[in-house]
Chain A
Amino acid sequence: MLRYLSSRILSLGLSLLVASALVFSVVELVPGDPASFMLGTGAQPETVEALRRQMGLDQPLPLRYAAWLGAILQGDLGTSFTYKTPIAGMILERLQVSLPLALMALALAVAIALPVGTFAAARRGKAGDGLVMGAAHVGIALPNFWLAMLLVLVFAVRLRWLPAGGFPGWSAPAAALRSLILPAIALALPQAAILARVLRSALVETMGQDYVRTARAKGLSAGQALRRHALRNALIPVLTILGMQFSFLLAGAIIIENVFYLPGLGRMIFQAITQRDLIVVQSAVLVLVAAVIAVTFLVDLAYGAVDPRLRRP
């Protein structure tokens, strides 16, 4: 287990290093000079020169990367060019919206997919299975932002049950949670559709295994065998998909935040793009990518814990 862990940690460190180099080098791709790009065409040469110095653009590239990485490791993500405030603080503030939203969506997706997938597997080939899996097919094809618009149309505009957008802040916890309900549903439903399909086929496959047959022969009902033996083993592919989908969930949250005008990380990124605040875009993207890599790492570890055969590096 120790060897498995150390090899995983090494690969995590390497991935983070290369990803950070990729994100860093993007600013170098700006046509011309990043400082004049950020200031626009009408800028005074002295202003451009000052920004160049502030961004360290007068230093050679490897030196700048090392300095940037060193600062990040100490929690310093730089200063926003537009707001003149530390970016780390801005991101932390925005994460208070994005993170609860992503977690709510994830929990909701699992809460829907588990019973639905199990139901379909238990009624394999029957009408209930066909109906549920047909719905899942449509769910996968749904763009989450369109689903979000339809939810707003029905539950906010017509029925007036929930707010159509905006975020009151966590000082009013009940109202804050209410404003995250529709975004979380819009994010979760397409995810749940994918998960339910994966869970169903994994369950159907494990139900054909010898140990399930043995359990049935010992007198367990089909439902008991499914819950006690098949479900556990079928959770491994579900875990894989959940881990992989985390990056889609993050990307989806970026779009959904724009539908509901939620002040999360995604909206911050889009505002930064329009304001040409490259430093904010760079830092926020780095945080997103690091989160995806970290989750992949955790899923790898979870495999090792669930299935000892996978511990061999």
Chain B
Amino acid sequence: MRTGLILGAVLAGLALCAAAVSAFWTPHDITRMAIADKLLPPSGAHWLGTDHFGRDMLSMAMLGAQTSMAVALVAVAIGMALGVPLGLLAAARRGTWMDEVVMRGNDLVFAFPSLVIAILITAVRGPSAVNAMVAIGIFNIPVFARVTRGTALPIWVLDYVRAARVAGKGTALISLQHVLPNIAGLLIVQATIQFSLGILAEAGLSYVGLGAQPPTPSWGRMLAEAQTMMALAPHVAIIPGLCIVLTVLGLNLLGDGLRDALDPRLRVVR
């Protein structure tokens, strides 16, 4: 499984580097159109070819990585910032009405897929990358709350938690000092998985026009624009899709590998 972890780290690292580098440098300027150079196949001047406006596909893909990752990262942050405290609270107050309310509320949010949340937000506030972040982030909240509660519950019955209780520490302090550090590893693994799901979700949202708006490049919108000309120039449809697949695949492999490395007991039976 080591190969999976390494392959995952390399793929995810590449995407992350592309996103980071694109913040200050891309091979070509994508704000300048060159219609004469439109739909060129990959060549020495344009490694991944050009799109229907003659823009360099490599530069577009790099900037698309930046958009995808920014959206997915903020969505994970929203999910963790709200979901982890809720999960800790539910675990600390397990069996009480508060636990019940938190978990039932989570079930309810699960009934709203992130695309449906995005549709609702867009219907009233208009499409934007920020709304995509919020929509995916809201969907992430119950995921993190559930994982936090589930992994925190067994910690609460351990001796050192009881000792802390005897020493006079309150519920909040125990949650922060003893429970949270012990479940942090699994939360990081979940964050990797939600990050990869967030990239898929962002691509879907921007494909249907509910995500980042022009001129901000995004993988999903590159695919939407490629749809009418993929018969003429298949590379405009293939490259953004490959970017999504390789990034998501890398993050998933990384998540699986990290989980195995952090806790061999959780290793998927093989």
Contact = CB atoms under 8 A, between A and B. Distances in A.
A29 B108 CA distance: 20
Contacts of A138: 245, 249
B113 interface: yes
A288 interface: yes
A161 interface: no
Interface string B165-209: 000000000000000000000000000000010001001100111
Interface in A17-40: 18-19, 22-23, 26-27, 29-31, 37
A125 B269 CA distance: 10
Contacts of B200: 141, 143
Contact of B207 (A30, A37, A255, A292): A255
A254 B115 contact: yes
Contacts of A276: 123
A141 B123 contact: no
Contacts of B104: 11, 14-15
A289 interface: yes
B111 A19 contact: yes
Contacts, number: 133
Interface in A58-109: none
A289 B104 CA distance: 15
B116 A251 contact: yes
Chain A at the B interface: mostly helix, strand, loop or mixed? helix
A258 B237 contact: no
A211 interface: no
Given A269-B119, A292-B113, A205 B208 contact: no
Contacts of B148: none
A137 interface: yes
A152 B104 CA distance: 42
B150 interface: no
A14 B200 CA distance: 32
A127 to B, nearest CB: 14
B263 to A, nearest CB: 16
A15 B220 CA distance: 33
B241 interface: yes
Contacts of B196: 141
Contacts of B253: 137
A150 B253 CA distance: 24
Contacts of A141: 196, 200, 244-246, 248-249, 252
Nearest to A257: B208
Given A157-B231, A247-B110, A149 B223 contact: yes
Contacts of B29: none
Contacts of B204: 143, 145, 251, 255
A270 interface: yes
A273 B249 contact: no
Contact of A251 (B113, B125, B268): B113
Nearest to A249: B113
B122 interface: yes
Given A19-B111, A285-B120, A201 B269 contact: yes
A170 interface: no
A100 B137 CA distance: 31
Contact of A247 (B113, B207, B240): B113
B124 A204 contact: no
Interface string A131-161: 0000001101111011001101100010000
Interface in A251-265: 251, 254-255, 258-259
B270 interface: yes
Interface string B66-109: 00000000000000000000000000000000000000100110
A56 B111 CA distance: 28
Contacts of A247: 110-111, 113
B123 A278 contact: yes
A2 B50 CA distance: 64
Given A23-B120, A145-B204, A281-B120, 5 more contacts: A145-B203, A153-B230, A153-B237, A258-B207, A273-B123
Interface of A: 11, 14-15, 18-19, 22-23, 26-27, 29-31, 37, 124-125, 137-138, 140-143, 145-146, 149-150, 152-153, 157, 201, 204-205, 208, 244, 247-248, 250-251, 254-255, 258-259, 269-270, 272-273, 276, 278, 281-282, 285, 288-289, 292-293, 296
